[in-house]
Chains A and B, each alone.
Chain A
Amino acid sequence: MAPPSESAGRPVIEVRDLSVHFALDEGTLKAVDGLSFAIEQGQMFGLIGESGCGKTVTAQSLMRLVPTPGRIVQGQINFRAEKGDQIDLANVDGTGQEIRAIRGNEIAMIFQEPMSSLSPIHSIGNQLMEAVLLHVTRSKREAYKIALEMLDLVGIPNPVQRMEEYPHHFSGGMRQRVMIAMALSCRPRLLIADEPTTALDVTVQAQILDLIARAQSQFQMAVLYITHDLGIIAEICDQVAVMYLGKIVEQGSARNIFHHPLHPYTRRLLASTPRIGQHAERLQSIEGTVPIPIGLPRACGFCSRCPDRIEGTCDSSVPALVEIEEKHYVRCFLHDERAEVAS
């Protein structure tokens, strides 16, 4: 385990009021809508939400990989780079030199489907060495050594032989290990994990979660862990943010979120998750579906599905994200009457 450095406690990344919009024929889709959060060194930050809540677009915007016609329309993504200087990733050229020096190097990402993220026509060794040659060293021999070390670190047996093989020779779990090896090879300060175990079986998932946790404590990375699985969040994350319709609706420590949830959406999400040994005849479900964030009125995003809504309040203004208890933030009029200022 690495000793805590002097910079511990200061955020590696700080997102402020980020909005990402997609200009579609049907109107402007607000995928991410005024998002703020910060992740400290060595912290495992969980971002949880259902499909369409904007969690993946959030990850893409940190890497500046938002697909067209998506665009960062406001906000800051302050990333503290290796040398200690801060850089606002929201305002750099998305294809320029600056972001390319950071992407895949200081900020690395692992995805849900490792097969579509690996090239089928290049050997695992070559793909691993590519990033190392780009960011760490120019010597092929050294890059080979680093790649080999990484494969060994992520628990791939016979790494020398495996270096020569191609992705289709690997099982799903092994491919995800390769992706992790690739992500770790440049010693990133921030690792973004977007549903990395969703396509895997539960015993393989356990192996991968174990690997990510070990790698984190070894390299003291900040990790943004994105998932829809509450169980995973509870097991590995320190801080949790619950996302709904492009906004964080509740944020706090894992213990706060799971034992003392305040937002009606968080509560219902927890209640609709089956638990072993619960013996419930029926599960609580959330009525209706997530609306599509195009041309929605200025109202709480959850208000159409919320059984506790206050008529005349929840449907006419947007609640602000307020610190209700120490380090426990909630965006709901039931807990605080402050509304978000229209921008």
Chain B
Amino acid sequence: MTAPPILKVEGLKKYFPVEKGFLRRVVGQVKAVDGVSLEIGAGETLGLVGESGSGKTTVGRCILRALDPTEGSIQFQIDDDVSVDMARINRRELRALRRYANMIFQDPYYSLDPRWTVLDIVGEPLKLAKLADGAELEERVARLMEVVGLEAKHLRRYPHAFSGGQRQRIGVARALATNPRLIIADEPVSALDVSTQAQILNLLSDLQGEFGLAYLFIAHDLSVVEHISDRVAVMYVGKLVEIAPKDQLFFFPKHPYTEALLSAVPTPDPDVEKKRIILPGEIANPADPPAGCYFHPRCQYAQARCREEEPALREVSPGQWASCHFADELALVGAPR
């Protein structure tokens, strides 16, 4: 990483209480996010992968305070010399900070209000931050439309008049409106077709180059994540199991779960012979995770120690962190080259 991080998350936890009965007694905790620490540098893309229920969306939502974290700190560098802890600020302060970080959602159909014109949708964050109004607002929205590859003359159209890819562009324009430093993109291309997906991915990298944006790119598709990210973090049942620069993570994984994930990605080449690792069983229940390493019941390398002692996330090689007792000994297989 070149610049000092603009986002530094430390020990982030988000527990959801499990309630039961008429009196809503709390009988347990779903540990959706359980001690996640990560950093994102200015202009950097950190990919966050994991299966459904791993807590990756919850991490993104906690960072923007769409959810209140249970514990941990979220240091966000809003300016070159001003840093705030997003986890500790109140609602009123939060509103003033919204313009510095924004979100792109998965579904371009449900995330846009059908009764609003593009001008309303893209202009709202500008209005709320009191950055523009009236004719100036219209001009800025028109410019944003052009930036994301839409025609400025379609300003007064409603979302239904646009295709899926174009709607996602509207979502990107809205996220860009206030010149944020950080964009959290939660599965931004998974609802799109391959050819449209390529258009949006190209748009996101162009915008990053132009505006120096940092992305937290949350996705389950590893090929997409590998394409767009500088570094990648892998989550399993609320915890990071590995975080590393992308080439290291994809070709020299240090955690057995990363290895299994990589082996499961279908390769678009019929001649590539590879051994798919079929994981037994299912992802652990975050309300009742197994003892020791959460992954041990499905891990083909598990030993007695894994059943008892929880591994810590440690630096295995420069920049590459993994939480496996045997990260140094195992010779794991990466993605086929």
Chain A residues with a Cβ under 8 A of chain B: 50-51, 171-174, 201-207, 209-210, 228-235, 254-255, 258-259, 268-270, 272-278, 280-286, 289
Contact = CB atoms under 8 A, between A and B. Distances in A.
Contacts of B299: none
Nearest to A286: B195
Most interface-central of A202, A206, A276 (chain B CB within 10 A): A276
Contact of A229 (B52, B222, B262, B266): B266
Nearest to A283: B198
Nearest to A282: B202
Contact of A274 (B195, B227, B270, B335): B227
Contacts of A233: 268
A282 B205 contact: yes
A205 B264 contact: yes
Contacts of A278: 227
Given A203-B279, A234-B266, 10 more contacts: A202-B220, A202-B261, A203-B51, A210-B278, A234-B272, A272-B194, A274-B198, A277-B226, A280-B227, A289-B165
Interface residues of B, number: 45
B199 A171 contact: no
Contact of A272 (B197, B221, B270, B271): B197
B303 interface: no
A269 B195 CA distance: 6
B264 to A, nearest CB: 4
Contact of B271 (A205, A206, A228, A255): A255
A80 to B, nearest CB: 28
Contacts of B277: 206
A203 B268 contact: no
A254 B265 CA distance: 18
Contacts of B198: 272-274, 283-286
Interface string B257-292: 000111111111111100011110011000000000
Interface of B: 51-52, 163, 165, 193-199, 201-202, 205, 220-224, 226-227, 250-251, 260-272, 276-279, 282-283, 335-337
Given A171-B282, A276-B226, A289-B165, A201 B270 contact: no
Nearest to A201: B51
Contact of B268 (A209, A210, A275, A286): A275
A173 B282 contact: yes
A207 B279 contact: yes
Contacts of A229: 266
A133 B226 CA distance: 49
B335 A277 contact: yes
B163 A202 contact: no
Contacts of B337: 277
A207 B33 CA distance: 26
Contact of A283 (B227, B262, B268, B335): B227
15 contacts: A50-B194, A50-B195, A173-B282, A202-B264, A206-B263, A209-B276, A234-B266, A234-B270, A255-B271, A258-B269, A268-B195, A273-B194, A275-B267, A276-B265, A289-B196
B284 to A, nearest CB: 12
B195 A285 contact: yes
B158 to A, nearest CB: 18
Nearest to A173: B282
A219 to B, nearest CB: 20
A207 B282 CA distance: 11
Nearest to B52: A201
B189 to A, nearest CB: 10
Contact of A234 (B199, B267, B276, B283): B267
Nearest to B263: A206
A194 to B, nearest CB: 16
